[in-house]
Structure 1
Amino acid sequence: MPAAPPSDDILMEPVMRQHAAAFHALASDPAVSATTHLPSPFPPGHAEAWIDTAMGARAKGEAFHFAMLHPQDGFVGCCSLVALSPRARTAQLSYWVGRPYWGRGHATRAARWMLDFAFETLKLDRVRTCVLESNTASLRVLEKLGFEQVLRAPNRNPKFSLDDVLVFFERAPESDRRPDAPNP
């Protein structure tokens, strides 16, 4: 699967072992793990093990993990489709961006590319995701991409503040969206 350009300044390619050092460096930042399921502290060797698992899942068609690559900066984050259900034709979107690259639109562009991949290549009917209500940057990304809120639930994961709320979203392909849904 070759690298694909979602925009002029970011490329997406399947995550590979060559991304491990940069993955580890960015994922080790506690600010990144604060709103993701990445462990903190990020253990040595964990990036390599995660990438090996990701490559195996991709080979089986169970999940697709892509590196976000910037022409000058290299690896800036990761965008994934997980919990892929061919029978239900759904998957869950997840993404993270290294702190030095926050606020540059990389997550929005990568997630937009991933939605195209989900709907056009994989022929999925729905993409779902959930974020912590306190993660306002991710809430903005999902709003820009036309995700619709479907559920709010208390956070039960002790890694995050138990006072925080999980917000669940869903997105259909353009042809299946409600006429009153936000237009990305």
Structure 2
Amino acid sequence: MKKTILRGSALWMRPLAEQDIAPILKYASAPEIAANTFVPQPYPPKAAQEFVRKVSKEWQSGQAYTFAIIEAQSGCFAGVMGIHPVPEHKRAEVGYWIGLPFWGRGLATQALRLVIQFGFEELGLNRIAAGHFADNPASGRVMQKAGMRCEGARRAYHYHRDSFKDSVWYAILREEYAKQ
């Protein structure tokens, strides 16, 4: 797939690139990011470079599409959002994180709306889902604002930092997206 650029009023998104290694390393090193994601903590210096290489290969093969989120006003890297399709079932899962300096600005919601649009309109999906740790309700609000519906909790679903964590799952169907 071509190197897609998604544009919103407060941000734009493009495939991750080498230029994103330094800000990924900076933001992913924050304990608050590690607490809500599977980003390793402490974040190893080579991890950002390996991550960018991995997601670039996934993009080229169509396995996943991982975007850098760029704040429009400043032009600064603000976070990462990826969509991981399962083509034979016409569905995908989305994952994301936003750097701490950009929290509370609505960027995650706008980015998720753009990725949902990309999934339905460019990838031809029928269903897009996302989950969050139950102790991170802010991420659930992002999903709700982007038009996703809560489907329920999965108890002790993830083993994270030496304990089991519940996760809450949301999804949106093509027919629901079309009505927005």
Global fold match (TM > 0.5): yes
- CA drift of 1:6 comes to 1.7
Identify the residue that residue 7 of structure 2 maps to in structure 1: 5
Structure 1's consecutive aligned runs of 4 or more residues displaced over 4 angstroms after TM superposition are 160-164
How far residue 156 of structure 1 moved from its aligned partner, in angstroms, is 4.3
1:93-172 matches, within 5 Å, as: 93-160=94-161, 162=163, 164-172=165-173
Q: Quick one: distance in 1 between partners of 2:5 and 2:150?
A: 31
- 1:27 alignment counterpart: 28
More displaced, 46-55 or 73-82?
Answer: 73-82
TM-score between both structures, scaled by the size of structure 2: 0.91
Structure 1 residue ranges without an equivalent (≥5): none
Aligned AA (2:6): A
Separation of aligned partners in 2, 1:163 and 1:62? 28
Contact 1:154/1:162, CA 8 A, preserved across alignment = no
Contact between 2:157 and 2:164, CA under 8 Å: does it hold in 1?
no
- 1:85-116 Cα deviation digits (max 9, x unpaired): 11101110111000111000010010000000
Task: Name whichever of 23-32 and 129-138 sits farther off.
Answer: 129-138
CA contact (8 A) 2:83 2:115 kept: yes
Q: CA deviation at 1:157?
A: 3.1
Deviation of residue 130 (structure 1)?
Answer: 1.0
Q: Closer, same or farther in 2 for the Cα pair 1:6/1:29, shift >3 Å?
A: same
Q: Deviations over 1:34-93 (max 9, x none)?
A: 1011111111110010110000000000100000011415111001102x1111011101
Shift of 1:165: 2.1
RMSD: 1.9
Residues 153 and 165 in structure 1, CA contact (< 8 A), matched pair in contact too: yes
CA distance in 1, matches of 2:94, 2:28: 18
Residue 177 of structure 1 aligns with which residue? 176
Deviation at 1:2, TM superposition (A): 4.6
Instruction: Give the direction of change, closer, same or farther, for the CA distance of 1:33–1:73 in structure 2 (3 Å limit).
Output: farther
- Is this contact kept in 2: 1:155–1:166, CA < 8 A? yes
Gaps of 5+ in 2: none
Q: What is the CA-CA distance between 1:5 and the residue it aligns to?
A: 1.2
8 Å CA contact 2:119, 2:125 repeated in 1: yes
1:90 is matched with which residue? 91
Matched, 1:75 2:77: yes
Identity %: 28
Match of 1:63 in 2: 64
Say which SS state the counterpart of residue 158 (structure 1) adopts: strand
Letter in 2 for 1:177: E
Q: Distance in 2 between matches of 1:163 and 1:44?
A: 27
Inter-partner Cα distance in structure 1 for 2:117 and 2:8? 9
